[in-house]
Structure formats: structure tokens, C-alpha cells
């Protein structure tokens, strides 16, 4: 099997996983928003409810941190594969999405995206 074909299989798998994780992140954000709306609608905010909210908020933030960290690893590996495929195929611009627009183009935790490097 050609090395480029093997890299393309890994590339396809990682891209699919990254897309799935991003969509799961949006679903998780919607669940968090619904939970926060439920909490705000409660008539009596007892100490138990505040404790529960603090525990859930910590778990929510930890899950978001882990998801973003894993997406960063996926994006960086996809960029490596793109560079390797471009090198092996003698086509410098064949694959370039993650290399130019992926994780390296983000600043401040993904809030601001800078212009890609060409």
C-alpha cells in the first residue's frame, strides 16, 4: 500500500472524529444552557442546589477543557499529515485546510482567528 494512501486513511479518520467532536461540543453547550435555564427557574435556591450547581459547573468546565485539548491534538496531527502528504506527492498546495486555518491560526483559546499563513 502506498504511504500516501495510508496517510489519507488516517487523515479521513481524524477529520471525521474532529467534526463529530465539534458537533458534540455544540450539543453539550445546549445541554448546559438548558441546565442553567432550569436552575434560574427554580423558586428556592437552597444550599444543596448551589452545591449541586458548583459541582456540575466544575464538571462542565473540565469536560470543555478536555474536549478543546483533544481537538487541538487532532488539528495539529491533521496539519502534520497534510504537510507529509504534500511533501510525498510533490504538490505543495494539495492539502492545506488545517495547516492554514486549523488550530495554529487561533489566538486566545480560539476566540480570535488570525489570517492564515500562505
pLDDT tens digits, residue range 19-33? 998 898 899 889 989
| Residue 3, pLDDT score | 85
Rg (alpha carbons) of the chain, rounded to whole number: 20
Q: Looking at the domain assignment, is residue 118 inside a domain? A: no
Domain count, the chain: 1
> Is 76 in contact with 83 (CB distance < 8 Å)?
no
Helices 3-41 and 47-89, packing angle to 10 deg? 160
Residue-level pLDDT at 68: 85
Residue 36 in any domain: the answer is yes
The whole-number pLDDT of residue 49 equals 82
When pLDDT is cut at 50, 70 and 90, the band that residue 105 belongs to is low
The answer as to whether 108 is a domain residue is yes
Higher pLDDT, 118 or 52: 52
On the question of pLDDT at 80 being above 60, the answer is yes
Amino acid at each position: 500500500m502506498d504511504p500516501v494512501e495510508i496517510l489519507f486513511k488516517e487523515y479521513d479518520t481524524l477529520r471525521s472524529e474532529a467534526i463529530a467532536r465539534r458537533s458534540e461540543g455544540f450539543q453539550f453547550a445546549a445541554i448546559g444552557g438548558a441546565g442553567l435555564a432550569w436552575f434560574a427557574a427554580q423558586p428556592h435556591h437552597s444550599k444543596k442546589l448551589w452545591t449541586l450547581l458548583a459541582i456540575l459547573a466544575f464538571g462542565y468546565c473540565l469536560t470543555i477543557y478536555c474536549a478543546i485539548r483533544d481537538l487541538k491534538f487532532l488539528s495539529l496531527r491533521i496539519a502534520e499529515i497534510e504537510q507529509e502528504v504534500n511533501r510525498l506527492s510533490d504538490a505543495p498546495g494539495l492539502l492545506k485546510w488545517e495547516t492554514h486555518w486549523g488550530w495554529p491560526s487561533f489566538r486566545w483559546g480560539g476566540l480570535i482567528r488570525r489570517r492564515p499563513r500562505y
